[in-house]
Amino acid sequence: MEIIDLLGYLGALLIGVVLGLIGGGGSILTVPVLVYLLSINPVTATAYSLFVVGASSLVGALNNLKKKLVDFRTATVFSIPAFIAVYATRKYLVPAIPEHIFTLWDFEVTKDIGIMLFFAVIMIVASVSMIRETSNADLRETKVKYNYPLIIIEGVVVGVLTGIVGAGGGFLIIPALVLLAKLPMKKAVATSLLIIAVKSLIGFIGDVQNLDIDWVFLLIFTGLSIIGIFLGGYLNKFIDGRKLKKGFGWFVLVMGIYIIGKELL
């Protein structure tokens, strides 16, 4: 095994550790690890990322189910438009993107470059969300209310974004659950994991029909991420995940800028 491959598998473990420590956001590293360390093309990498994100989120969701923190009605209302959108995006939209998108001066923007640039923009938006997050979030129990039209629109938008970049989209889902369904923050975080798991795994089904999946590699990579989640959960007893989240946000911001520079230069 080459050093770069070893770094890629260590990256899988790191993704899980970050998820276990800060409760989200770590999955946004999956595509860069797969593309830049393991030399997997961006379309396949975003597909693999959906599976890794879905499986990892499912582990977190099952843990939250035991604590009775998941709001099933909210998860259902949000998930249905999200998983329809993500499945349609992976099955129809991503394959329909032309290999050559456009040429600007002498620079050709291909499908792979376009996906990575779009992914980098999403990373930067997510990083700002992590950096600005405050620790005094409202944790009080409030009566759940639904703004159905906005929840459906948000679900579709998150589904399309997830389908294109292969990230979970928790930085979009959690604020939506707090603002549009009036969920307390703890329940919003717990419920978002179930939504992410369902829509990511259903989106991946759209890829099974379009791509040749290396199941051995994917299951090893996913297994390492899940081991990392448990390791991160253990470390969380000694490290304040909320303090780490802002630092990780800055790291994601730098990564996003790096990807833009690498793809353009």
| pLDDT at 133 (0 to 100) | 66
pLDDT digits (tens, 9 = 90+) for 31-49: 999 999 999 999 999 999 9
| pLDDT at 138 (0 to 100) | 47
Mean pLDDT computed over 115-135: 83
- Cβ-based neighbours of 116, under 8 Å, separated by 6 or more: 31, 35, 42, 259, 263
pLDDT above 80 for 251? yes
- Cβ-based neighbours of 160, under 8 Å, separated by 6 or more: 85, 86, 89, 93
- Of 228, 243, 220, 246, give the one whose Cα is nearest residue 1: 220
- Tell me the pTM: 0.83
Confidence label for 139 from pLDDT (cuts 50, 70 and 90)? very low
| pLDDT at 1 (0 to 100) | 58
| pLDDT at 117 (0 to 100) | 93
Cα gap 6→195, rounded to integer Å = 32
Do 180 and 147 touch, CB atoms closer than 8 A?
Answer: yes
Cα gap 210→95, rounded to integer Å = 8
Question: Lowest-pLDDT range, 6-10, 53-57, 70-74, 178-182?
Answer: 178-182
Q: For the chain, give the mean pLDDT.
A: 85
Name which residue leads in pLDDT, 20 or 202: 202
pLDDT digits (tens, 9 = 90+) for 60-100: 888 888 888 888 888 888 889 988 999 999 989 999 999 99
Here the tokens at position 76 are 């259902």
pLDDT digits (tens, 9 = 90+) for 53-68: 899 888 888 888 888 8
Query: In the chain, what is the straight-line distance between the N-terminal and C-terminal CA atoms, in Å?
Result: 29
| pLDDT at 137 (0 to 100) | 47
Query: What range defines the domain where residue 156 resides?
Result: 3-264
Phi, psi torsion values for 157, nearest 5 degrees: -60, -45
pLDDT above 80 for 145? no
How many domains does the structure of the chain reveal?
A: 1
Structure letter (DSSP) for residue 29: G
Torsion of CA 64, 68, 71, 72, to 10 degrees: 90
Structure letter (DSSP) for residue 168: -
Q: Identify the bridge partners of residue 100 per DSSP, sorted by sequence position.
A: 110
Do 191 and 177 touch, CB atoms closer than 8 A?
Answer: yes
Do 249 and 127 touch, CB atoms closer than 8 A?
Answer: yes
pLDDT above 70 for 200? yes
Question: Lowest-pLDDT range, 29-38, 96-105, 136-145?
Answer: 136-145
| pLDDT at 25 (0 to 100) | 67
Write the single-letter amino acid at 31. Answer: V
Cα gap 171→25, rounded to integer Å = 8
Query: Tokens 């909210």 map to which residue?
Result: 74
Cα gap 57→65, rounded to integer Å = 12
Structure letter (DSSP) for residue 99: S
pLDDT above 70 for 143? no
- Cβ-based neighbours of 145, under 8 Å, separated by 6 or more: 181, 182
Write the single-letter amino acid at 212. Answer: D
Q: How many CA atoms lie within 13 A of 152 on its CB side?
A: 2
Confidence label for 135 from pLDDT (cuts 50, 70 and 90)? very low
- Cβ-based neighbours of 217, under 8 Å, separated by 6 or more: none
- Of 222, 233, 159, 250, give the one whose Cα is nearest residue 33: 222
pLDDT above 90 for 17? no
